Amino acid sequence: MKDYRPVVLPVTLLCMVGALWTFPDAANMQTYLTYTFPPNAMLFQVGVPTLLYAVDWIREKRGKPA
């Protein structure tokens, strides 16, 4: 893509609409941040990278002659 500027405004508006649709009020957002976000964050920010690193480490070990 040579020029990204025409895409910025529509994507921004879609993000805002999605956020308002997902969290219509502050209480729903607070509930999400308290109960749902921490397990998801641990899974996707720690679990998935660790799993990928483990797979890479195992593949590297198998590829080298002992």
Note down pLDDT in tens along the chain; length 66 residues: 789 999 999 999 999 999 889 998 999 999 999 999 999 999 999 999 999 999 999 999 888 655
SS3 59: helix
Could you tell me the two tokens for 45?
């920010």
SS3 9: helix
Whole-prediction pTM: 0.58
